[in-house]
Structure 1
Amino acid sequence: MSGRRDEPIDVLLVEDDDDDVRLAREAFAGLAIESSIRVIGDGAEALSLLTGRDGEPPVVPDLILLDLDLPQMDGLEFLEAVTAEPELARLPVLVLTRSTNLSDVRASYDLAANAYLTKPTESTEYAEMAEAIAEFWFRRAALPTSHS
């Protein structure tokens, strides 16, 4: 089943490092498929955005890119909270972090992460990673979100 669609892909990047945000934005901007990236620098803020807890309607992206090393609520705590919310549990979450620690990898998958990616260090590597994500998640896979 193809996930190809005419609407832009909505990506939530949960990341607090400005350099990584810049690299990710540049990489996704270079794709042939249209995408929008919303950046939230903390897991607690991202969870509030997804659930609409601050009196706002919930924002449901097509895909979440999640760093593990975050202030207040780290990435693993965020994954645990998302998994506990039935409306959010089906969202694709790709962990994108510097950690290569096997316990982080296992914990992420135990908490239903869909993939565990180590952050690239060069802009060309970020571009390659963004293209690989787009090819699989945006062009091939069917995403659980819909745009009405």
Structure 2
Amino acid sequence: MIKAIDVLRVMAEHKESEFEFRIYSPNTEQGYSDTELSKLPAYVEAHSTFAKLRGNEKMAIQVTEFFESDFQTIASLTMDGQLICERKAYGQPMEAIKHALFEQGTYSEMVEKQFMGLRTGRTLLVPEMNESMAGGLMKEFMAWRKEGNQ
């Protein structure tokens, strides 16, 4: 099951990609249908954080705000034209199609928890590091460096 934070993480990690998502229609939200989609898909351009509607580009909202309030209305999400996750019907959980995109390494999970703790003002307890966790951290760090990050 995919949550809004998982999709936002994928979008942040692939900010050079364009994302498009299909939204359920008001008829579906009101219970008249299980799968009817809105006529206009929403999208997020590469290197942008604003969601817009195709055909009505003046209507824009921060993607984080939209996902916090309306994630359950999203039927499917594509990245550069490829389907990455979908919901079979309104009210059903979002399921990954491209599972590798949604896998999170130990290091990025720890960093995400720290950022969430800073945002909410909560104290985070970091578990004692064992050999497996240390190996996972280093493996992910080396992959990150190999991609040309500094």
- TM-score tier, shorter chain, comes to under 0.3
Normalising by structure 2, what TM-score?
0.25
Normalising by structure 1, what TM-score?
0.25
| Structure with larger Rg | 2
